[in-house]
Amino acid sequence: QVELQESGPGLVKPSETLSLTCTVSGGSISSYYWSWIRQPPGKGLEWIGYIYYSGSTNYNPSLKSRITISVDTSKNQCSLRLSSVTAADTAVYYCARHSYGYNPFDYWGQGTLVTVSS
C-alpha cells in the first residue's frame, strides 16, 4: 500500500520560505507525478504544482514566481519550497500522486498544517 507523508515546520514567519517534504513509502516515486495541493482552514482545495519523477515540473501560474518543486528519487521524496510567504499561505499542505496521462489524484498524504505568523 502506497503511503505519502508530508513533513516540515508547522510555523513560518512572514516573508520567509516554507519548505515541505513528501516521503513516499510502499512504492516507488518513479513513473508517477507528484503534486502539491493546499487547503486554507475552512476553505477549498488549490493545486500548487507537480513534478514528474524525471524532474519536469508544472506550476500554478498564480504561485509560479514563488514555487520550487524538486524530487529526490534516491530518497523517494519530493519537496516544495514557497518563498515570501504571507498569512494567505496558511493552509494544510498535501502531496498527492497521479499517473502519467489524464489521471486524477489517487493517493494523498494526510496533510500538514503550516501557519504563517510572526
Partner 1 sequence: EIVMTQSPATLSVSPGERATLSCRASQSVSSYLAWYQQKPGQAPRLLIYGASTRATGIPARFSGSGSGTEFTLTISSLQSEDFAIYYCQQYSNWPRGVFTFGPGTKVDIK
Out of 2, 11, 45, 87, name the contact with partner 1 by CB under 8 A. Answer: 45
* Cα distances (Å, whole numbers) of residue 83 to 19, 69, 86: 9, 12, 9
Report in angstroms how near the CB of residue 64 gets to partner 1 at its nearest.
10
Out of 10, 44, 88, 117, name the contact with partner 1 by CB under 8 A. Answer: 44
Closer CB to partner 1, 13 or 43, in the complex:
43
Contact, 54 vs 100, CB < 8 A? no
Length of the chain: 118
C-alpha–C-alpha distance, residues 53 and 57, integer Å: 9
Report in angstroms how near the CB of residue 19 gets to partner 1 at its nearest.
20
What letter represents residue 58's amino acid? N
Does 34 help bind partner 1 (rule: CB under 8 A)? no
Report in angstroms how near the CB of residue 59 gets to partner 1 at its nearest.
9
Does 46 help bind partner 1 (rule: CB under 8 A)? yes
Q: Taking the mean position of all CA atoms in its chain, how far away is CA 62?
A: 15
3-state SS class at 89: helix
Residues interacting with partner 1, by CB under 8 A?
A: 35, 44-47, 58, 60-61, 94, 98, 101-106, 108-111
